Amino acid sequence: MKKPVIYTILVILLLALAVLVYLFFNQRQELNGLVEQMEIEKEELQEEYEDLAIQFDGYQNMDIRNDSLQDLLSREQQRVQDLLEELRTTKASNARKIAELKKELATVRTVMKDYVRQIDSLNATNARLTEENALVRTENEQVRTRNEELTQANTVLTETVSRAAMLEMTSCALTTLNKNDRKTRMTSQIKKLQFDYTIGKNITCTPGLKNLYARIITPNGDLLGEDANKIFPFESGEIPFTLVQEIEYSGDVFSGTCYWPVNEESIFHGFYTIDFFCEGNLIGSFPFQLKK
């Protein structure tokens, strides 16, 4: 073979080798960049989980005064800690696992938003009752002033008897019904809310017919069925109610059921609260959730 041909072949081979070397290093550089990007995404995801854990800590330190909601927050807080630990032990190159943890983060954030709305609803209820009872507290102060001649012993005795005679609702369970009065979990199909409740035994309470009032508060803090003509006495004042039911209480354990027909425009998913009142006293407060 002639030398020019050999030289030509060598040049071609060298050029091909140079191209291969260039492609190798270029691909390696891109791979390193991809790995670095995945590390950054993992760090950012970890920071988001840590921020969420801090937010849960903040809500745990609040005085929520609702055991059911407190338990739900504790479970979600532990879930975030478990997911955070799982993320820390996951390699950045495990794209599928990182994607799953991102999805879990979005789910937890959605749940947390519902809890925040529930907490805000409870705070709004307390604020509303405080405002509605401002006049009542003023009147009570006047009553206490006019009755200063009463001895402290009589005052303590009266308060003790009143508390002993006050009813207490020990449980309340929600069942959501469709137009055929069948159970359904889909908010869009709910036509009626059924509340099965139990009032505890109280032999000091005067037996007889009693009005049981209920206030259903939406996730937005609104009162379902609010009507200026639907009010009842509460702590020497008057506040609106959602529904009322007459019961006959004998002093023994009493179980009953009340219903609320759903207005499609007023019902939506989220956390609600139903408060029960009897003889001017708040005798039970229960949260419940309507899911999509």
pLDDT at res. 204: 85
For 199-210, write each residue's pLDDT tens digit.
Answer: 999 988 889 999
Backbone angles phi, psi at 229, to 5 degrees: -90, -10
Mean pLDDT of 87-98: 72
Mean pLDDT of 18-40: 60
Backbone angles phi, psi at 198, to 5 degrees: -135, 130
| C-alpha span between 250 and 191 (Å, rounded) | 33
What is the distance of C-alpha 201 from the center of its chain? Answer: 31
Place 104 in a pLDDT band, splitting at 50, 70 and 90.
confident
List residues bridging with 260 in a β-sheet: 193
List residues bridging with 273 in a β-sheet: 217, 287
pLDDT at res. 250: 92
Q: Which residue has the higher pLDDT, 209 or 154?
A: 209
Percent of the chain with pLDDT strictly greater than 70: 67
Q: Are 277 and 169 in contact (CB under 8 A)?
A: no
156 pLDDT higher than 60: no
Check the CA dihedral 217-221-226-231 and report its sign.
Answer: positive
Which runs of E-coded beta strand occur in 105-191?
A: 169-177
pLDDT, the chain, mean: 78
- Give the angle 219-221-225 at the CA atoms, nearest 5°: 95
- Strand, coil or helix: 13: helix
235 pLDDT higher than 70: yes
Mean pLDDT of 55-67: 65
| C-alpha span between 267 and 244 (Å, rounded) | 19
256 pLDDT higher than 60: yes
Helix (H) / strand (E) containing 258? strand 254-261
Place 159 in a pLDDT band, splitting at 50, 70 and 90.
very low
Let me know if domain 166-290 sits in CATH 2.60.40.10: yes
pLDDT at res. 154: 45
| C-alpha span between 158 and 152 (Å, rounded) | 10
pTM summary value:
0.46
| C-alpha span between 198 and 258 (Å, rounded) | 11
149 pLDDT higher than 60: no
Token pair, residue 144, equals: 């206490």
For the chain, the domains span: 3-117, 166-290
33 pLDDT higher than 60: no
Residue-by-residue DSSP string for 190-230? --EEEEEEEE---TTSPPEEEEEEEEEE-TTSPBTT--TT-
**Residue 82: CA atoms inside 13 Å, Cβ hemisphere, count?**
8
Backbone angles phi, psi at 232, to 5 degrees: -145, 160
Give 96's contacts (C-beta < 8 A, 6+ positions apart). none
Mean pLDDT of 237-263: 93
| C-alpha span between 292 and 289 (Å, rounded) | 10
Q: How many helices (H) and strands (E) does the chain have?
A: 5, 9
145 pLDDT higher than 60: yes
Q: Which residue has the higher pLDDT, 147 or 48?
A: 48
Q: Are 278 and 208 in contact (CB under 8 A)?
A: no
pLDDT at res. 24: 60
pLDDT at res. 213: 97
Report which residue type is found at 173.
A
Q: Which residue has the higher pLDDT, 33 or 108?
A: 108
